[in-house]
């Protein structure tokens, strides 16, 4: 099922065929959260996630993806809106649209990580992790460097 929502001249769509993977890669490979991500890795991530493109007409101007079991857990990742389209409430609308997707209802936990967008996510109902001591991770910050 393809999910779509329209607001004025903008549309959010879960149709993977509309994604501009080149644009997404250009943004994510220089982002603080996925510096140097190889295109092949991004393509695999997109193929295994529920993806949402934000479009103005046919041009993609934003993106987000959700890793989820569609029953109990989801993780929101790779959210961005192109700078020339910021300040219009599009990121908030994108996150709210994602939260309204039928396959993401009734989840016990919906996580994300952010360095600088806490205000955006608070507006959408996210809070700091109640018990951060319960969370653990394996982190490889050099995963995308040559030879890693």
Q: Which pLDDT score is estimated for 145?
A: 85
With H, G, I as helix, E, B as strand and everything else as coil, classify residue 68.
strand
Residue-range domain boundaries for the chain: 4-134
User: Given this model, what pLDDT does residue 147 score?
Assistant: 52
Is 65:52 a contact under the CB 8 Å cutoff? yes
Per-10-residue mean pLDDT for the chain, 148 residues long? 96 98 98 96 98 98 98 98 97 98 97 96 96 94 77
pLDDT at 140 (0 to 100)? 93
Tokens standing for 31? Answer: 């982002």
Answer yes or no: are the C-beta atoms of 76 and 110 closer than 8 Å.
yes
Cα end-to-end distance, the chain, whole Å: 37
20 close to 54: Cβ distance less than 8 angstroms: no
Asked if CATH classification 3.30.530.20 holds for the domain at 4-134, the reply, yes or no, is no
């Amino acid at each position: 099922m393809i999910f779509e929502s329209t607001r004025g001249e903008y549309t959010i769509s879960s149709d993977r065929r509309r994604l501009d993977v080149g644009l997404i890669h250009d943004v994510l490979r220089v982002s603080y959260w996925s510096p140097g991500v190889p295109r092949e890795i991004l393509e695999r991530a997109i193929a295994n996630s529920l993806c949402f493109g934000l479009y103005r007409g046919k041009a993609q101007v934003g993106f987000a993806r959700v890793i989820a079991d569609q029953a109990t857990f989801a993780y929101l990742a790779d959210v961005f809106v192109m700078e020339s389209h910021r300040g219009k409430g599009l990121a908030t609308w994108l996150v709210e649209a994602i939260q309204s997707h039928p396959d993401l209802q009734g989840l016990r936990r919906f996580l994300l990580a952010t360095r600088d967008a806490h205000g955006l996510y608070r507006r959408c109902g996210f809070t700091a992790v109640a018990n951060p001591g319960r969370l653990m991770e394996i982190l490889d910050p050099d995963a995308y460097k040559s030879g890693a």
